[in-house]
Structure 1
């Protein structure tokens, strides 16, 4: 631990574009952009460590729900505890990211993770030994210091390829696909551990993976971006005041509502058709479509500027989100499965392009904070979407009609993105250094 906190970061030299060579046909080298970004020394090790640290993000909430309901028999209590943790994360996340920007990833991520792991273990002990309900809220709120591991990884890519926009695009596409993969595998692993070993097993394994992954990630000092000097006038200025960022965060908020409502409505749809055990498989198809689209999106350099592509991506997402609505109202589970797979193909390109815009609009010294604000907006949207989707599933007379909630949220995201693109002045992106 002392070695991680005391070691000074060793920065790598700027990554220069490789000399031009005769290009083989694209069909013969489909994965060349990904092979290229992983030729940089240290990127493979840091990516493996970050994936290990990111997998618990899809495990912790599911594990907490299964553990609390298994012990207390109350879904209401479990939902309230996880909602409290979500709210605490929305408040604490930007502050943790600001500390990372000011003091470096290793110096902040390790102690912040240690505190979050202690909160998870305290929750496990309180549930196991029958502590009062209020202790569950306090313990789960302590996990809010968990650093945004995906944002930390994206910040490293942004630093390594600060002079290579095409490589940054490929790296961001890979990171989005990794997010989808972790949120696809995490709940499955958590459910398996909690139902086959013990209700506390999911939380215990998730905490161990998180701490181990962050320690390994922080030890990779060659790829860690140096602390960028921040002018005194910018230290108290929130990135929320940056031109163009608030409308972008509003789009992320609406996009989060798409994710949250789609999950709840799909579970309700499967339950109403007597296929509750298949709800995870239906949601996995949506994540699989997004993961595949994210990887394909990063294979080649995209034409034009990201601020012009973003409204197109959100419009595609809004159009494809109509498919689940049509399939659920006019078809059955099989049609819905196909519709969810197709609908997922638009979410990753939207997120990749949006995160790229966040990076371009945020100064280098506030990059982690800017990306964490985007994640916070997503979390807020997920919470609102979950509530709206649940209400629609109970009150709209048919679960199929409830798919109008994610469709409406996607349309709202597209409208906000289009209005912001028309009002945003044509200015060069902020340099990433």
Structure 2
């Protein structure tokens, strides 16, 4: 094993080698299409419901219902995928999701009560397919535990997610404004159904499923001590996304140039993507745990001065720095999952993290909205600082739980954790 690792390291594998992994394109390409709806759902709901109700408050309430359902139900979807297989979970999920989204669009166009809209939104959010975590689980299943390509895979997925959150909302907004207010939601439903089914059809690259006799013994990913710590870390990252979206919108309105909002958020997202690409190209000799302990305080520091800025160019520059600081923390967090979580629970672990981002985003957007109403965009920019600051305290206090195998004796994953420790010692 050691010689293989040495050879891999000396060759400095890159994204090209990652994508040449046998079977990779069979899940990367449909996975990219199928994850677009995750970024399209919220803005499509807001634009349609605001058009039909005339109220941004109502639109935000319905969108929040969908976001909350995503955060609460994503781990359930991940756990079921680990137990029964991705395809068996994904096929009914995408069918129900597409039906719920179409129902939501029809209800909105018919002027249905808010309660009915929220019920449909809850169903849509609860069943949105967890394609990102499923793709990550497939990378982990295809690559050896000691492969340096795992770092590249984590970076590649982070960049893909960020690219999705750049083009998804733009695509949805263009459809809603250029074709019909419901076009964004309908396109989301079609992409979910088509992309999800194509992804589910690629069974050969899916992670192995637990034997039926083992399913009742299958432990939750939360039994791994470090997963809760990482969930808090990702909750803080979500607070940056949610706080920045609302506060940048408010800032743009305050300076009398609403159109600059898209530019400022684009700069922030570009920083995240570029840093993710660069971060994944480096062969790190420092362990992921140590990298996270350095990267996360840097993210806190980057958000610390946002609230003091009153100039669009300066805010754009600071937003770029914040975006650059997010990528290392995000990528390293997912890399740690590959190290500390048994293979049979990884999809669930990934969904806990993506769910934490969604929850952090929803909570931060709500808090930032209230603060901006009370005191302007400057107060709203305090939300990313508060969210990452509190998460950093938890991370530093419980950092020992991010050591591979930590706490295994206190849970039912002891035997599985022991199998992980030997290859991880190579790092």
TM over 0.5: yes
Match of 2:382 in 1: 404
Is 2:340 the partner of 1:361?
yes
Residue 178, structure 1, aligned to residue 157, structure 2: no
TM-score by length of 1: 0.88
The CA deviation at 1:233 is 6.6
Q: Does 1:198 align with 2:180?
A: yes
Aligned to 2:225, what secondary structure does the other structure show?
coil
How large is the RMSD of aligned CA atoms in angstroms? 2.5
- Residue of structure 1 in register with 2:35 after alignment: 54
Match of 1:306 in 2: 288
Query: 1:320 aligned to 2:320?
Result: no
Summarize the Cα distance change of 1:258–1:177 in structure 2 as closer, same or farther, 3 Å threshold.
same
Give the Cα separation in 1 of the matches to 2:319 and 2:343.
Answer: 37
Which of 350, 354, 359 matches 1:375?
A: 354
Tell me by how many angstroms 1:283 deviates.
0.9
Q: 2:393 aligns with which of 415, 418, 424?
A: 415
Change (3 A) 1:201 1:247: same
- Kindly report which structure 2 residues correspond to 1:291-302, keeping only aligned pairs within 5 A, or say none: 291-302=273-284
Tell me which residue corresponds to 1:136: 117
Range with bigger deviation, 299-308 or 184-193: 299-308
1:378–1:341 distance in 2 versus 1, CA, 3 Å: same
Of stretches 421-430 and 269-278 in structure 1, the one that deviates more from structure 2 is 421-430
**What is the TM-score normalised by the length of structure 2?**
0.89
Q: Does 2:321 match 1:339?
A: no
Provide structure 2 residue ranges, at least 5 long, that are not aligned to the other structure.
Answer: 407-415
Secondary structure at the aligned position of 1:346 is classed as: helix
Inter-partner Cα distance in structure 1 for 2:229 and 2:404? 15
Structure 1 residue aligned with 2:133:
151
- The reply on whether 1:214 has 2:196 as its aligned counterpart is yes
Q: Does 1:238 align with 2:216?
A: no
Q: Which stretch shows the higher mean deviation, 92-101 or 47-56?
A: 92-101
Q: Is the contact made by 2:8 and 2:147 (CA closer than 8 Å) also made in structure 1?
A: no
Whether contact under 8 Å (2:85, 2:208) holds in the other structure is yes
**Using the alignment, how far apart are the partners of 2:17 and 2:274 within structure 1?**
19
Kept after mapping to 2: 8 A contact 1:97/1:147: no
- Aligned partner (choices 263, 282, 292) of residue 281 of structure 1: 263
Q: Which residue of 2 aligns with 1:116?
A: 97
Deviations 1:326-382 (A, max 9, x none): 4x2xx4111111111121001011011111222322222111111111122222211
Question: Which residue, out of 55, 74, 96, partners 2:55?
Answer: 74
Indicate yes or no: 2:327 matched with 1:348: yes
Which stretch of structure 1 is more off in the superposition, 123-132 or 187-196?
123-132
1:231/1:96 Cα in 2 relative to 1: closer, same or farther (>3 Å)? same
| 1:412 positional shift | 2.1
Change (3 A) 1:17 1:57: farther
Distance 1:152 1:345, change over 3 A: same
Q: How many residues align?
A: 408
Q: How is 1:19-38 mapped onto 2 (pairs within 5 angstroms)? A: 20=7, 33-38=14-19
Aligned partners of 1:359 and 1:371 also within 8 Å: no
Cα distance in structure 2, aligned partners of 1:158 and 1:199: 40
Residue 76 of structure 2 corresponds to 95
What is the rounded CA distance, in whole Å, between the counterparts of 1:19 and 1:421 in structure 2?
29
Structure 1 residue 22: Cα displacement? 12
Q: After TM superposition, where is structure 1 displaced by more than 6 Å over at least 4 residues in a row?
A: 21-24
Contact 2:41–2:185 (8 Å) recurs in 1? yes
Q: What CA distance in whole angstroms lies between the structure 2 residues aligned with 1:251 and 1:231?
A: 31
Q: What is the SS of the residue equivalent to 2:144? A: coil
- Against the structure 1 CA distance between its residues 298 and 104, is the aligned structure 2 distance closer, same or farther, given a 3 Å change threshold? same
- Cα deviation digits, residues 188-215 of structure 1 (max 9, x gap): 1111110111001111111111111111
Shift of 1:59: 0.8
Structure 1 residues 233 and 215, CA gap change in structure 2 (3 angstroms) = closer
When residues 302 and 271 of structure 1 are mapped into structure 2, their CA distance, relative to the original with a 3 A threshold, is same
